[in-house]
Amino acid sequence: MRTIDLTPLHRSFIGFDHLSSLMEAAQRNGEKQPSYPPYNIEALDNDRYQITMAVAGFNDAELSIESENNTLLVKGEKAASDNTAQRQFIHQGIAERNFERKFQLGDHVRILGAELDNGLLIIDLQREVPEALKPRKIAINTGNLLQD
């Protein structure tokens, strides 16, 4: 019997666990998501998440973070410089290329803030479900039933 590993699908979806949505998005996006820059997604507790991206060589002016329609977009754009043409690398392991990374956010997930620390971009997220949508307990009254 064949088993399907859905782990790669869970990487870019934050704040909800709808398998049907994951499958639909996987079918819709035929292209593979690039592996640069590497990142981690952590669940800090039930409603708090953190994305950590390794963006070595980028400063805060070269990075942008945008949120629109449950999509988080992180871009890194290096300014073209004349001194890179003059440099001779024996080995170049630090990628200094532009990137664009999209993350699909669940409903009611908002971005709390972002921080750049030692080459790591840290983005804090929190799910805030409105009271009207939270499950609530319904009390069951026990009383005398009318008898015939």
Range 77-81 average pLDDT:
78
The reported pLDDT for the residue numbered 19 is: 47
7-129 adopts what CATH topology? Answer: Immunoglobulin-like (2.60.40)
Domain ranges of the chain: 7-129
What lies within 8 Å, CB to CB, of 104 at 6+ separation is 12, 13, 14, 25, 70, 71, 72
Nearest-5° Cα angle at 61, 86 to 107: 130
The pLDDT tens digits of the residues spanning 32-69 come to 556 788 999 988 988 899 999 999 888 889 999 998 88
Question: For the residues 112-129, what does the mean pLDDT come to?
Answer: 90
Among residues 17, 105, 112, 20, which one has the least CA distance to residue 69? 105
Which of these ranges, 11-15, 79-83, 105-109, has the smallest mean pLDDT?
A: 11-15
The pLDDT tens digits for 1-10 are: 566 665 565 5
Helix ranges restricted to H, 67-140: 83-86
Q: What is the pTM of this model?
A: 0.64
Distance CA 141, CA 148 (A): 21
Q: Which residue has the higher pLDDT, 122 or 24?
A: 122
